Structure 1
Amino acid sequence: MICDVCRIREAEIYQPHTGRRLCRQCFIEDIRKRVEKEAEIIGLQKAKKILLAVSGGKDSFVLADTLASFIDHNKLIAYNIVEGIHGYNRKEQVEQLKKFLTDLGIELIEDSFKDSVGYTLDEMVKSSMEKGLNVSACTFCGGFRRKLINNAGRMVNADYVATGHNLDDEVQAIVINLIRGDLIRLIRFGDKPLKLSSKFVLRVKPLRKIYEWETTMYAYYKGYNFQEVECPYITTRPTLRAKVRELLYILEETKPGSLLNIIEEFDKISENVRKEYSTTSELRELPRCKICGEPTSYGREICKNCELLIKSGLLHQNLPIS
């Protein structure tokens, strides 16, 4: 069957949400154009420096490859964190990531939880379990990753921090925050970045309208040998996100294009809500943690990260960690 776009090459892939059959080249070009369109909405092309938060997975490769196709590589710098998960973090993966980025002309900054926090993720989880805390590894990992990525963005004077969150990730996050009724956190999502602290580097998601299956196929077609092993903590203790993900997969399979419809409608709603909140005191500057000095949630004196370390017995309240 001939590609529906170029009408020349043989189609290799079917795109359910558009109903099109595409050849390999047209599929890759379609992804790049959609990422470039999102980047234009965000304003990435005007940035002087963009930090790419990369993990070594397929989304990281697609993030770097697509952005490098239309943004000067001298404006891009990558940052990778080794969490310290036994059997998951492997040295050869970081080396492979570094080679790939070097070939694109992008510098890689390497970091780890052990170096910057003082403990690996495994050590944090083990200590919290010994204290009888009912805290998932994802809670530790997500919080400290966000903190270190933001710190790295400030360190290199980046205008933006770009992450590899895809459409599936973004819609899952929207649904989760709807379930939790967290309006303030919810309106921070959307196609336009929302900055609630002078210490935050704006975080953007150029892949937020690209399906996860599309990032997988893009990486496969480009010949990337990306990490396919899922984090063991996800399988040993399924989170709310994992449950929401399964429900959304069923919805998308029943009605292709549902996830795109959700995020596009959400962007319209969130823009209106943010305009309303911008005239109130609800979106004032976030307070600073009394221990580490980083931004924390409204009404908090100690950030969630420091609180977790204190409760796990890894940090005394009167000692700063950075």
Structure 2
Amino acid sequence: MKCSLCGVRDAEIYQAHKGRSLCRYCFIEDIRDRVKREIERLGLSRASKIVLAVSGGKDSYVLADTLASFIDHDKLVAYNIIEGISGYNRVEQVIQFKNFLNELGIELIEDSFEKSVGFTLDQMVANSKKRNLNVSACTFCGGFRRKLINTAGLKLNGDYVATGHNLDDEVQAIMLNVIRGDLIRLIRFGDKPIKLSSRFVLRVKPLRRIYEWETTMYAYYKGYKFQEVECPYIELKPTLRAKVRELLYALEEKRPGTLLQILDTFDIIAERVRSGSSFKDELPRCKICGDPTSYGREICKNCELLINSGLLNYQNFPMS
């Protein structure tokens, strides 16, 4: 069977959501074109600096490669965080990814939890367990990664921070927040980035309309050697996200294109909710670190986690 686009080369991959078969070359160009359309829709083509939040996984490779294919490399800078997970954060993986970025002409800024927070993730988790806190490693990791990524965006004068979240990630997050009834977080997942504080750098997701299997095949066809070792903190018991993921994949298999339809529908709903809602101009600032925190809170969740874990001593504060 010949490629549905070029009609010359043999097809190697089938896009069920579009009902077409592509050769690897047309497939790669299709992914780049879709990312480019998303970038242009968001207005990133006019940005003077875009900070790429990367981890060294397949999505990070695809994010950097696709953006570098049509954006001036001088406008791109990558930022990577070493969380401090024994047996997982490997130096050779960082070196390999740094070499890849060098070939693209993109600078890599390296950081770590230990350097910028004062503790490794392992230390945070160990201390929380000593105090019998029911806090997962993912709670620590996600919160502090978001904090450091935003701080890096501010320091680097970034107009945007671009993350490698793909379509699967995005739709799973949407469904989770629907289940939890988190309206504010839901609205922030819309297709038009918003920020509730001058201390936030706008976050965008150029891969939000690209399936995870597509980023995997893109990385495979390009020959990238990315981080494949699973984080040791991944819970063995089925999480809510895992259950949502399983359901969504079953729906996608039965009706290809379901994930894209969910995303498109949600974007329309989110825009309508935004237009009919009034939000305060600025989120309050944490009294400890100064970062934005949720309405009604005096300290942010990250500082609260460190206090409760015994890693941050902040006496005489009226904890609620």
Q: Same fold (TM over 0.5)?
A: yes
2: CA distance, partners of 1:241 / 1:292: 30
Residue 213 of structure 2 aligns to a residue whose secondary structure is: helix
2: CA distance, partners of 1:247 / 1:313: 39
Q: Provide the residue aligned with 1:119 in structure 2.
A: 119
Deviation at 1:243, TM superposition (A): 2.2
Q: Which stretches in structure 2 are left out of the alignment for 5+ residues? A: none
2: CA distance, partners of 1:229 / 1:257: 29
1: CA distance, partners of 2:262 / 2:172: 10
Q: What whole-Å deviation, never above 9, does each CA across 1:250-274 have from its counterpart, x for those lacking one? A: 1111111100000011111111111
1:36 aligns with 2:33: no
> Do the aligned partners of 1:83 and 1:89 also contact (CA within 8 Å) in 2?
yes
Deviation at 1:240, TM superposition (A): 2.3
Q: Provide the residue aligned with 1:243 in structure 2.
A: 243
Alignment-mate amino acid for residue 296 of structure 1: T
Q: Provide the residue aligned with 1:290 in structure 2.
A: 287
Q: Provide the residue aligned with 2:45 in structure 1.
A: 45
2: CA distance, partners of 1:284 / 1:91: 42
2: CA distance, partners of 1:245 / 1:234: 15
1:312 aligns with 2:313: no
Stretch deviating more after TM superposition (283-292 or 142-151): 283-292
Deviation at 1:284, TM superposition (A): 3.2
> Do the aligned partners of 1:41 and 1:192 also contact (CA within 8 Å) in 2?
no
1: CA distance, partners of 2:46 / 2:312: 41
1: CA distance, partners of 2:274 / 2:47: 23
Deviation at 1:238, TM superposition (A): 4.6
1: CA distance, partners of 2:231 / 2:159: 30
2: CA distance, partners of 1:133 / 1:45: 45
Stretch deviating more after TM superposition (228-237 or 174-183): 228-237
Q: Provide the residue aligned with 1:190 in structure 2.
A: 190
Q: Which stretches in structure 1 are left out of the alignment for 5+ residues? A: none
Residue 63 of structure 1 aligns to a residue whose secondary structure is: helix
1: CA distance, partners of 2:213 / 2:32: 15
> Do the aligned partners of 1:165 and 1:205 also contact (CA within 8 Å) in 2?
yes
1:174 aligns with 2:149: no
Matches within 5 A, 1:203-222: 203-222=203-222
2: CA distance, partners of 1:125 / 1:232: 12
Q: Provide the residue aligned with 1:93 in structure 2.
A: 93
What is the aligned-residue RMSD (CA, Å)? Answer: 1.3
Q: Provide the residue aligned with 2:84 in structure 1.
A: 84
Residue 233 of structure 1 aligns to a residue whose secondary structure is: coil
Instruction: Kindly report structure 1 stretches of 4+ aligned residues shifted beyond 4 Å.
Output: none
Residue 234 of structure 2 aligns to a residue whose secondary structure is: helix
Q: What whole-Å deviation, never above 9, does each CA across 1:288-310 have from its counterpart, x for those lacking one? A: 00100000011110100000011
> Do the aligned partners of 1:136 and 1:237 also contact (CA within 8 Å) in 2?
no
Matches within 5 A, 1:118-137: 118-137=118-137
1: CA distance, partners of 2:272 / 2:114: 42
Q: What whole-Å deviation, never above 9, does each CA across 1:53-75 have from its counterpart, x for those lacking one? A: 00000000000000000100000
2: CA distance, partners of 1:71 / 1:318: 49
2: CA distance, partners of 1:231 / 1:186: 27
Q: What is the aligned counterpart of 2:299 among 298, 302, 314? A: 302
TM-score, length-normalised on structure 2?
Answer: 0.97
2: CA distance, partners of 1:287 / 1:249: 39
Q: Provide the residue aligned with 1:165 in structure 2.
A: 165
Residue 264 of structure 1 aligns to a residue whose secondary structure is: helix
Q: What whole-Å deviation, never above 9, does each CA across 1:168-206 have from its counterpart, x for those lacking one? A: 000011001000101111001111101100000000000
Alignment-mate amino acid for residue 259 of structure 1: L
TM-score, length-normalised on structure 1?
Answer: 0.96
